[in-house]
Amino acid sequence: MTTITLDGPDRAGNLRRWQALLGEFAPFAHTFQLHCWEDEKEAIALAGQHGAEEAASWEHGRVFAGDVTPAFLRMLLQQPLPQDCGEAPKLTPFFSIFLDNGFCSEHYGTEVHIITEEDIP
C-alpha cells in the first residue's frame, strides 16, 4: 500500500495534487463509497445527489455508495477548497472517499492510500 500525506501549509497545492491522484485512478473505478459525519449537512446533501445511503458501521457516520459516473467525477474534481476547516485541514467536503479499485482518500483528502493487487494476500 502506498500512502501519500497532503496536509502541508499549501492547501491549494495539496488540492491540485489530490485532484491529479484522483484523476489518475478514478477512470478505472466502477463504484464508490463516501463517508460523512452526521452533522455535515452540505456534504451529506452532495453525497445524496450521487449515491444511495447505506447503513453506516461507525457511530455518528453517514455512508453513501454508487457508481462512478462522469457527473460524480466532475463533482469531485471541481470542488473548491472547503472554507469551514476549523482545526482540520480539509481538501474535500467528504471525510472519506473509497473507490473499488483501491484508491482511498481519508481525513478530508489529506491522506491518500492506494492499494494494489500486490498488497492483497
CATH number, domain at 40?
3.30.70
Q: Is the residue at 14 inside a domain?
A: no
19-23, 32-36, 83-87, 90-94: which has the minimum mean pLDDT?
A: 83-87
**Is 117's pLDDT higher than 80?**
no
Query: pLDDT, tens digit, for every residue of 71-82?
Result: 999 999 999 998
Please report which confidence band the pLDDT of residue 118 belongs to, taking 50, 70 and 90 as the band edges: confident
* Domain count along the chain: 1
Instruction: Examine residue 85 and state whether it is found in any structural domain, yes or no.
Output: yes
Q: What residues pair up with 55 in beta bridges, in sequence order?
A: none
Enter the pTM of the model.
Answer: 0.93
For residue 117, CA distances in Å to 2, 97, 101, 104 come to: 12, 19, 9, 14
